[in-house]
């Protein structure tokens, strides 16, 4: 099936790969993106965006611009969003306006200009803490750590008797626990998609992305993915900064796998109306990942800076149960993690990046968001 596809926020890291995958499959691609300086720097068109992509520079909150972008479009991939847990906790209006109002504007315009399907990018952050198993073998989906403080002897959540809980892969049925404004925003985007799509004859799909990595990330944005932040620090000869004790576990999935998932979710009939986790299905500690990236970049001499502090809104463990995506989308991550790090390292080595991590940490500390 060949279509004209609009990607909101499509000039960003993930959007460019989705555009390439759509083009590879014979589609026409249009991108609506505001090109904010924090992500893109001062550019009129990102150099990594394919020349075959039609670019409309504009804000997803501008109804007239959205209507123009939707003209002649068959389907939509909705990626436009402010991204970052930490920054969302003090740039509350900016995040809520772009993420929630922007999604509302898009769906308002879709009432008069409906498309076949919308696939919206959600986030693993909506889970808060992932799924756990207690000492008696029961699954726990309501886990919260409460207030965490520096110097804690044990950062892991415990049950009412003080027994440590064991993290397990998190499936889509696990109830949301919205621990940050960003998580709240992404859940609103999900629910808006499902609430608004069906009454207007549109098929809605949401993908909950875990930690996406790969070449082309915004290295100078201190609120982007953790691997890009670590890469920027290492590129500048600085130690990657890791909160808590570094043993928190995450799922890292390559951007090419994510792009393939978006395009499959756009076309497969069985995806309609569903929400899927998209991850690699493998969990790793943050310290392990930082050390592997340092090795890939040839900076084994730089050890992570494990600061022993926590950021408000951060969670301990959350990694991906990929069963539903495998069953319904036929999705299995293909990229090898070590090979993916080597590719990332090669790309990073040819870049320059302004290290703003210290500035971002100072902003969080000033507002009491680092405990």
The confidence score (pLDDT) of residue 360 equals 44
The confidence score (pLDDT) of residue 59 equals 97
286 in Cβ contact with 138 (< 8 Å)? no
| All domains in the chain, ordered by first residue | 4-366 (3.40.50.720)
Cα separations (Å) of 348 from 107, 148, 230, 296, 345? 37, 34, 11, 11, 5
158 in Cβ contact with 152 (< 8 Å)? no
| Cα–Cα distance for residue pair 342/292, rounded to 1 Å | 9
The DSSP call for residue 199 is: G
Is the Cα torsion angle 217, 221, 225, 226 positive or negative in sign? positive
3-class DSSP state for residue 194? helix
Residues in the chain predicted with pLDDT less than 50, given as ranges, are: 150, 356-357, 360-361, 363-365, 367, 369, 371
Active-site annotation, residues? 182
Is the Cα torsion angle 38, 43, 49, 52 positive or negative in sign? positive
For 20, the token pair is 């390439």
For 218, the token pair is 């915004």
Cα separations (Å) of 22 from 4, 17, 72, 262, 263? 9, 9, 17, 9, 7
207 in Cβ contact with 186 (< 8 Å)? no
170 in Cβ contact with 157 (< 8 Å)? no
The confidence score (pLDDT) of residue 224 equals 63
Cα separations (Å) of 108 from 66, 88, 120, 182, 289? 10, 25, 15, 22, 42
Tell me how far apart the 2 most distant CA atoms of the chain are, in Å.
Answer: 60
């Amino acid at each position: 099936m060949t279509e004209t596809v609009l990607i909101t926020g499509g000039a960003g890291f993930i959007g460019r790969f989705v555009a390439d995958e759509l083009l590879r499959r014979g589609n026409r691609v249009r991108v609506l993106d505001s090109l904010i300086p924090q992500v893109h720097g001062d550019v009129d068109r990102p150099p990594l965006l394919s020349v075959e992509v039609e670019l409309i520079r504009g804000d997803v909150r501008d109804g007239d611009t959205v209507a123009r972008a939707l003209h002649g479009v068959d389907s939509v991939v909705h990626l436009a969003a402010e991204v970052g847990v930490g920054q969302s906790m003090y740039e509350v209006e900016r995040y809520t306006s772009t993420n929630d109002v922007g999604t509302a504007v898009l769906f308002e315009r879709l009432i008069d200009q409906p498309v076949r399907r919308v696939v919206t990018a959600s986030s693993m952050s909506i889970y808060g803490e992932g799924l756990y198993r207690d000492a008696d073998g029961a699954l726990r989906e309501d886990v919260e750590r409460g207030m965490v403080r520096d110097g804690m002897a044990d950062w892991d959540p415990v049950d009412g008797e003080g027994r440590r809980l064991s993290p397990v892969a998190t499936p889509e049925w696990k109830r949301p626990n919205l621990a940050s404004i960003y998580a709240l925003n992404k859940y609103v985007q999900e629910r808006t998609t499902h609430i608004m799509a069906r009454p207007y004859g549109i098929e809605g799909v949401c993908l909950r992305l875990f930690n996406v990595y790969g070449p082309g990330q915004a290295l100078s944005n201190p609120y982007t993915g953790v691997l890009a932040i670590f890469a920027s620090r290492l590129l500048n000869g600085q130690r990657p900064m890791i909160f808590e004790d570094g043993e928190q576990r995450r799922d890292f999935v390559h951007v090419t796998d994510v792009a393939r998932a978006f395009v499959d979710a756009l076309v497969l009939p069985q995806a309609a109306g569903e929400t899927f986790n998209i991850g690699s299905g493998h969990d790793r500690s943050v310290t392990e990942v930082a050390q592997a990236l340092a090795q890939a970049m040839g900076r084994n001499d730089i050890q992570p800076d494990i600061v022993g502090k926590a950021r408000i809104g951060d969670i301990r463990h959350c990694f991906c149960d990929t069963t539903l995506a495998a069953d319904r989308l036929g999705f299995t991550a293909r990229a090898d993690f070590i090979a993916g790090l080597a590719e990332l390292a090669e790309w990073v080595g040819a870049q320059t990046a302004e290290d703003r991590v210290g500035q971002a940490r100072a902003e969080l500390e000033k507002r009491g968001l680092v405990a």
